[in-house]
Structure 1
């Protein structure tokens, strides 16, 4: 037995309620869709069988109606020949066939009623099937998104990442130490370029000193 025991169970079911109770909504949606599709095939087969039965009953009814007319014609013929006894028997047979016609019409009406209900239920089932398929796509997208986020979270919160960052810190500290050693080696070692730069600086200082002396001397002269 599937999820639904009867066709009406599917038509009247609440998909949201089923999904809320399911441990695996994606699996539940697949099962619901499969059950609905199988039921549609079965119901359409039943509908086709009812239509075939209706056509067969209609043919029987047409034959019975022809016999009703035939017995009425026979009754008229018998009366025209002054055979009232035969006319009476013909009318009795006509009544029997008319009862058959009426009974067959009732059967046709019952089939039509069943077909109307069945078609209405098929429409409802098709709507629920479309809803289930739409929800299946939504659930799949949500599951993929959640799985991707979980994978990222696991990577971010993983101790491996923390260990790697600590290693980076240690590597940077090592590099800082090496660079400090290089700078230490450079201290106290004067290059030819350094000596020329120092001479240039001394020359600039001397020039600025002489200029300062000249300005001060000029001020003293102005004050005298």
Structure 2
């Protein structure tokens, strides 16, 4: 007994390990449902066979009961004929006794047939219970399979998305962004440098023109200041 318990535990452990390692839960569940349906077919076949035996046993009981009653009736008829003188008393007693012996044998067979009928009916009840349980399990797991397929579809999509997100290197992305920011700064500095070069390459005339343009609005004031510095007034002019 202990050996079979250990063997069962080893098998159970291997089954759990196989479940842990399985790659396709949908296919495994579908195979499990097929196994349940095969088991259902076997139980239905056994149920039909045992039911047939139970029906046969019941029929035997009825037939044997009828025979026992018939033997009893024959014994009664024989004794009545003896009373009427139709049969010698000794012969009637012998025949009636044989009929009663046959009746007793029928009762013994009836007892055995009834025991078999009870056993068969008990087996029928157990098999019907098994069949009902298997049907419920099949129905349950077929519904579970629909849910499982939807869950697997969602989990695969989520896994793929998470995998894509996991493949994105946050550190390298931040580094790239920093490089882009530095590049923009470098471009800005380069633009400013070209601006300074452009300014330094201007001719003296351009500078004078730009300066003159900037002070054109205050030319009179500048003229007065110049004259004052030279001590020139309008009368001298």
State if a TM-score over 0.5 links the two structures.
yes
Whether the aligned pair in 1 keeps the contact of 2:54 and 2:120 (CA below 8 Å) is yes
Deviation at 1:39, TM superposition (A): 0.5
Deviation digits for residues 89-123 of structure 1 (CA, Å, limit 9, x no counterpart): 11000000111112111111111101111112222
Q: Assess, with a 3 A threshold, how the Cα gap between structure 1 residues 22 and 48 changes in structure 2: closer, same or farther.
A: farther
Whether the aligned pair in 1 keeps the contact of 2:68 and 2:103 (CA below 8 Å) is yes
2:219 aligns with none
> Which of 154, 167, 177 is the matching residue for 2:163?
154
Aligned residue pairs total: 166
Whether the aligned pair in 2 keeps the contact of 1:71 and 1:90 (CA below 8 Å) is yes
Deviation at 1:159, TM superposition (A): 5.7
**3-state SS of the aligned residue for 1:29?**
helix
Between the aligned partners of 2:17 and 2:153, the Cα distance in structure 1 is 18
**3-state SS of the aligned residue for 1:90?**
helix
Whether the aligned pair in 1 keeps the contact of 2:57 and 2:113 (CA below 8 Å) is yes
Instruction: Report 1:63-74 matches (<5 A).
Output: 63-74=63-74
Across the aligned residues of Structure 1 and Structure 2, the Cα RMSD in angstroms comes to: 3.9
Q: Assess, with a 3 A threshold, how the Cα gap between structure 1 residues 139 and 18 changes in structure 2: closer, same or farther.
A: farther
Q: Assess, with a 3 A threshold, how the Cα gap between structure 1 residues 19 and 58 changes in structure 2: closer, same or farther.
A: farther
Between the aligned partners of 2:96 and 2:37, the Cα distance in structure 1 is 59
Between the aligned partners of 2:81 and 2:73, the Cα distance in structure 1 is 13
**3-state SS of the aligned residue for 1:81?**
helix
Whether the aligned pair in 2 keeps the contact of 1:22 and 1:28 (CA below 8 Å) is no
Larger radius of gyration: 2
1:53 aligns with 53
**3-state SS of the aligned residue for 2:21?**
coil
TM-score (norm 1): 0.59
1:123 aligns with 132
Deviation at 1:44, TM superposition (A): 0.8
TM-score (norm 2): 0.56
Between the aligned partners of 2:18 and 2:148, the Cα distance in structure 1 is 12
Q: Assess, with a 3 A threshold, how the Cα gap between structure 1 residues 102 and 91 changes in structure 2: closer, same or farther.
A: same
Deviation at 1:72, TM superposition (A): 0.5
Structure 2 stretches of 5 or more lacking a match? 1-7, 83-91, 192-237
1:31 aligns with 31
Deviation >4 Å, runs of 4+: 17-21, 157-160
1:43 aligns with 43
2:123 aligns with 114
Structure 1 stretches of 5 or more lacking a match? 1-8, 182-224
Q: Assess, with a 3 A threshold, how the Cα gap between structure 1 residues 18 and 157 changes in structure 2: closer, same or farther.
A: closer
